[in-house]
Amino acid sequence: MEHVNRFIIQCGEATNRDELRVRLFSSSLLGSAFTWFISLPPNSVITWAGLEKQFHKYFFSRVHEKKITDLVRLRQRNDESVESFVQRLRDVKNKCYSLVLDDW
């Protein structure tokens, strides 16, 4: 909810047009949120209300939320490159919505 409200405030007058909101929203996303957005089927989001509903359903249903214990349990697989492991670690961290950690 906070992200959507911040986005609307930052866009100002541009958010008065529904199609412009939909188009600009992806530029406000990072990490798992951006990954979620680009994984949406083509033409599955037409209206701002539909996009907002899908965003909230995915990120605030808590079904996908990870906990710090999920991060602690992560181990690099034998056949996994360091880059792949770090990306997997970041993906899990990005799903810890109630946990505030930076990449450092």
User: For the segment 36-67, what is each residue's pLDDT rounded down to a tens digit?
Assistant: 888 888 888 888 888 888 888 877 765 567 77
Residue 33 banded pLDDT, cuts 50, 70, 90: confident
Three-state SS at 63: coil
Sign of CA dihedral 78, 72, 36, 21: negative
User: What pLDDT shows up at residue 21?
Assistant: 84
Over residues 69-101, the pLDDT tens digits come to: 888 898 999 999 999 999 888 888 877 766 665
Give 48-51 contacts, CB < 8 A, sequence gap 24+: 48/18, 48/21, 48/22, 51/21, 51/22, 51/25
Cα separation, 104 vs 100, whole angstroms: 12
Report the C-alpha dihedral over residues 77, 83, 87, 89, rounded to 10 degrees: 50
User: What pLDDT shows up at residue 92?
Assistant: 81
Contacts of 90 (CB under 8 A, 6+ apart): 31, 103
Q: Domain limits of the chain?
A: 2-60, 65-104
* pLDDT above 60 for 1: no
Contacts of 17 (CB under 8 A, 6+ apart): none
